[in-house]
Chain A
Amino acid sequence: MFNLDLGSDSVAGPFLAWSALGTRDGAVPQRSFYIRSTDGKTPFDASKGLVFDIDAIKTGWQHSEGIAGVAPEWKWNQSVSQMMPKPGDDYKKGFSIPVALGGGKTAIWEQAGSSVWLALEAISPILSQRPDATSLPVFRHADSRFVQFNKGSTVVPVLELVKWTARPDALKEGVAAGIALEPTPAPQPAPAPQPAPVAAVVLDDMEF
């Protein structure tokens, strides 16, 4: 279960992320989720539930220089059940999970740090109780909990299982999603200006 297709690293987003302290510009409140896309950061209410594509979870180590525009480097595990040794002191444990946001929209929750890792660990026993090989869990952001470490602290999102559901179309690929794989070629429009690359924001978990 949950063996990985390590595939391409170049995912385009949008990205879902957790913010323990919120953003300095006030765009994202503390203890909340937000969506990061080419349009910037938008607060996202995860209390209504998200479908997690648990067949596509990846776990690994993330290294980020914290420089805007420079994507973090990920080293993905071969299997989610096994964590490779930490590649270096400046790596953080993290994961990538495609999620359906509702309304046919999807995002990738790809984030590293102890707050989100603890959130993933907390739902792991629920994932073990998957009722069948195809159902996906719907989790909602129910609460947040403060965690004090020997050194520093963080705030962990508490995810609550709403139900198990069939895979939504938004998380299906190709024909399974009702999309023709070989569409009639359409006239090619002039190349549109490329959007500015998504800033590789450092998704830290506010440990201090």
Chain B
Amino acid sequence: MNGFEKHSIDHLSASSINLWSNAPDVWVMQYLHGLRTPMGPAPWRGICVEHAVVATLQGGSEQDAIKAALDKFDQRFLIGDETTTKERDLIQPMIQLAVEELMEFGKPEFPAEGGQEKISITAKGDGWEIPVIGYLDLVFPQHGVVIDLKTTTRVPSSMSPEHQLQRGIYQKAKGNMGVKFLYCSAKKAAMLEDGDVVEILAKAKKQITRIEAFLRHTDKETARLIVPHNPDSFYWRGSEDLRDQFYG
């Protein structure tokens, strides 16, 4: 039995591999013990913007989409503080800018059954194999391009290694299409397409190999006791109580 089978892990994703690399203590808590850190206002803002952009590109009213996005945000963060209000205030300009950037691509296509298109590639090693999955934000077959929308307060000049891995997985799965990431702040946007896919996936495979070996040699309680723990990691921000309960 390989490590993934031992722990009933039937797939990985870019975010799972990145979390393993950056915060193995959070990874152990989430993926072995099933305790999720709550989604903060910034990623939730991103989801609200993305839904609104899709609705608008599909022919809906941008104003209605903005209102729906704000309602969706408020539904989650009913009691606003300075942080949530700051994120909320970014929703409208981010939607407007993203729509402006993406309008030229026309209507994105989605699976007939609804939702986002799921992609899967398989990583294989010595005695193990595991699907690595992802979900595509915007697919424009007529332009031969897949676009992942990233909302951010600062538009980067190059993609982070974490995003490069996500792009590499998507690119591998959609070999005949280009895969680009649209970074969008409230004021600025940039379309990026960084990283060599072969190199990125080779590096990812090394990490996946380590995950499998770690899992093969530990049970989940031992993993909790021995995994390096960084209580100051920003991954714990907003989840300090959970951190203290789990790691003491």
Interface residues, chain A, CB within 8 Å of chain B?
1-2, 57, 59, 77, 79-83, 85-86, 93, 95, 117, 120-121, 124-125, 127-128, 145
Contact = CB atoms under 8 A, between A and B. Distances in A.
B79 A120 contact: yes
Nearest to B82: A83
Contacts of A59: 79-80
B113 interface: no
B81 A128 contact: no
A25 to B, nearest CB: 33
A83 B82 CA distance: 6
Contacts of B78: 1-2, 80-81, 124, 127-128
Nearest to A120: B79
Given A1-B74, A81-B74, A81-B77, A125 B82 contact: no
A81 B81 contact: no
Nearest to A126: B78
Interface in B70-126: 73-82, 84-85, 88
B34 interface: no
B38 interface: yes
15 contacts: A77-B80, A79-B80, A80-B79, A80-B80, A81-B73, A81-B77, A81-B79, A81-B85, A82-B88, A83-B85, A93-B81, A121-B81, A124-B78, A127-B79, A128-B75
A186 B82 CA distance: 50
A124 B79 contact: yes
Nearest to B240: A147
Contacts of B74: 1, 79, 81
Given A80-B79, A121-B79, 6 more contacts: A79-B74, A81-B77, A81-B78, A81-B88, A125-B38, A145-B241
Interface residues of B, number: 15
A79 B78 CA distance: 9
Given A1-B74, A81-B74, A81-B88, A86 B79 contact: no
Nearest to B88: A82
A83 B38 CA distance: 21
A146 to B, nearest CB: 11
A61 to B, nearest CB: 11
B236 to A, nearest CB: 15
Contact of B80 (A82, A125, A128, A145): A82
A95 B78 CA distance: 13
Contacts of A2: 78
Contacts of A121: 79, 81
The 3 A-B residue pairs whose C-beta atoms are closest, nearest first, are A81-B74, A124-B79, A81-B80
A59 B84 CA distance: 14
Nearest to A80: B79
Contacts of B85: 81-83
A79 B77 CA distance: 12
Question: Which residue among B76, B77, B78, B84 has the maximum number of chain A CB atoms within 10 Å of its CB?
Answer: B78
A164 B79 CA distance: 19
Contacts of A86: 82
Nearest to B89: A82
Question: Which residue among A59, A81, A93 has the maximum number of chain B CB atoms within 10 Å of its CB?
Answer: A81
Contacts of A80: 78-80
A79 B80 CA distance: 8
Question: Which residue among B74, B76, B79 has the maximum number of chain A CB atoms within 10 Å of its CB?
Answer: B79
A192 B80 CA distance: 43
Contacts of A1: 74-75, 78
A194 B84 CA distance: 44
A121 B77 CA distance: 9
A121 B241 CA distance: 13
Contacts of B241: 145
Contacts of B38: 125
B75 A83 contact: no
Contacts of A117: 81
A117 B83 CA distance: 14
B47 to A, nearest CB: 15
Nearest to B71: A1
